[in-house]
Amino acid sequence: MCRLRFTGVLHTWGFALYLASTDSYRDNILPSGLPAGAPEEALDCAGDLYLNTLAPAIRVPTGLVVLVGPPASGKTSFVRALIARRQIDAEAVVSSDEIRAELFGTSPAEAVSDAADARIFEERDHRIAARLAAGQTAVAESTNVTPQARARLIAIARHFNAPVTMLRFNPDVTDLLQQYTERGRTDLTAADVRAYASIMTRDAGADQLRSEGATTVHDVPGRRQATTPAEAAAHFSFA
């Protein structure tokens, strides 16, 4: 993908990007140098530039961003990469799991009930509405694999005339179960994950999401495409 070299000047690194069209490498340089002096950081920067040369970043307008995908499909890792890359603020992310922990962190038994879900999603809706009312982007981080879950979010966006961008996370079941195992989650079983994946396949295709009111729909690359969360984040830019 890229080759890194030391130029002989402190904190200045050069690199060459691979061009498949000519089967050769093109020399480049990092104008900002290398802040911490670690070659790994320079490689990260070079990798970002390589990805940007492959395709222009998908522009996500200010509005509601709905993440759609089963548990363990990579949504949280993707969001963390966006925050780490300073593409979005941490405050933009409205996570139902985080709200659940805020409200019921010391009482896990109370967190699993219809009453608890009602409180959690009421608070989520309030936070999303507050950001949209202020003209800011809100990222709804929950599974959102059912039409009912998405309809509630779309209704909020319509109230504020905000565009709705839906980002799909749809790994194959083998990759999904492997990621579930790696995360060591105890709140779900493998059967639960398979059930979510089945619903995703049935009820969350791109055409279905558009018919429900999504302004745009994009698939987020993942393990099946040999793409890391940071590389996936580089495919997008946020207004």
CA distance 181 to 72: 9
Q: According to DSSP H, which parts of the chain are helical?
A: 39-54, 75-84, 96-104, 114-133, 147-159, 173-183, 190-203, 206-212, 229-233
DSSP 213: T
The Cα 197–Cα 195 span in angstroms is 5
Contact assessment for residue 2 and residue 16, using Cβ atoms and an 8 Å cutoff:
yes
- Secondary structure of residue 65 in the 3-state scheme: strand
Q: How long a stretch of residues is the chain?
A: 239
CATH 3.30.1540.20 is held by the domain 58-238: no
pLDDT at 1: 55
Give the model's pLDDT for residue 64: 99
pLDDT tens digits for range 145-157: 999 999 999 999 9
Higher pLDDT, 30 or 214: 214
The answer to whether the predicted template modeling score (pTM) of the entire model surpasses 0.85 is: no
Domain positions in the chain are 2-54, 58-238
| Angstrom distance (rounded) from CA 225 to CA 99 | 31
Q: Is 11 helix (H, G, I), strand (E, B) or coil?
A: coil
- CA–centroid distance for 231 within its chain: 11
Tokens representing 103?
């409200």
Confidence check: pLDDT of 179 > 80: yes
* Cβ contact 65:139 at 8 Å: yes
Identify the pLDDT of residue 14. 63
Q: How far apart are CA 213 and CA 200, in angstroms?
A: 17
pLDDT at 205 over 60: yes
Which pLDDT does position 206 carry in this prediction? Answer: 96
| Rounded CA separation 146/87 (Å) | 28
CB atoms within 10 A of CB 232: 22
CA distances from 181 to 101, 144, 227 (A): 22, 21, 19
52-94 pLDDT, tens digit per residue, is 544 568 999 999 999 999 999 999 999 999 999 999 999 999 9
